[in-house]
Amino acid sequence: MLGKLQQQEIEELLGSQLIGRIGCHANNTTYVVPISYAYDGNSIYCHAEDGMKLAIMRKNPQVCFEVDQFRDMANWQSVIAWGTYEEITDKQLRREALKKLVDRKLPVISSQLTHLSPQWPFLPNDINEIDGVVFRIHLREKTGRFENNNGTKSPGEASFRLSEKAL
């Protein structure tokens, strides 16, 4: 069954994943790139080095963000959100954003790109010593879709039915 995610399911998916994709466009170039992130219910927080995505988002701050979760080709969820890129330069706001990223639960085996400092998993005494650009995407619109092949109306219902069977 194909369907639309409810608002709560959209929030759960955004809050539960570590990797999403940013879509941005400027000067006749569209760029989609995976990035690790943290979500606080309003904004996506990211850390990156200067490069193409930052150059494009600085020119056109209107971006798209996508995150998904696939169990298999017939059981998946996807959220697409639109928002505005904002670089965080204020020291206190940058510290708070980095804290959101640091507080994520990362798997033991993780990408070097999710490690915010060379001392990972340890942090410098001052979190603002972490190099790179910290930014957020203020989300203004979110939509979500799903597919499941077990006859339920939503992914949440599917999870509930699966757990009932385990009892």
Per-residue pLDDT of the chain (167 residues; tens, 9 = 90+): 899 999 999 999 999 999 999 999 999 999 999 999 999 999 999 999 999 999 999 999 999 999 999 888 899 999 999 999 999 999 999 999 998 988 877 665 555 555 555 555 555 556 666 678 999 999 999 999 999 987 666 665 544 333 344 33
Q: Which two tokens stand for residue 151?
A: 């006859």
The secondary structure of residue 40, as a DSSP letter, is -
CATH code for position 112: 2.30.110.10
pLDDT of residue 5: 96
- Which residues are registered as beta bridge partners of 24? 31
Picking from 12, 48, 66, 34, the residue whose alpha carbon sits closest to that of residue 136 is 48
Supply the pLDDT for residue 164: 40
Buried residues in 136-150 as b, exposed as e (16+ CB within 10 A): bbebeebebebbbee
Q: What is the pLDDT of residue 167?
A: 39
**Helices (H), ranges, the chain:** 7-16, 52-59, 91-102, 155-166
Q: Give residue for tokens 């509930």.
A: 160
CA–CA distance, 82 with 19 (Å, rounded to integer)? 16
**Where in the sequence is the domain holding 157, given as residue range(s)?**
2-166
* Nearest in space to 78 (alpha carbons), one of 143, 138, 26, 136: 143
The total number of structural domains in the chain stands at 1
C-alpha 23/C-alpha 38 separation (Å) is 17
The predicted pLDDT at position 116 comes to: 57
pTM: 0.81
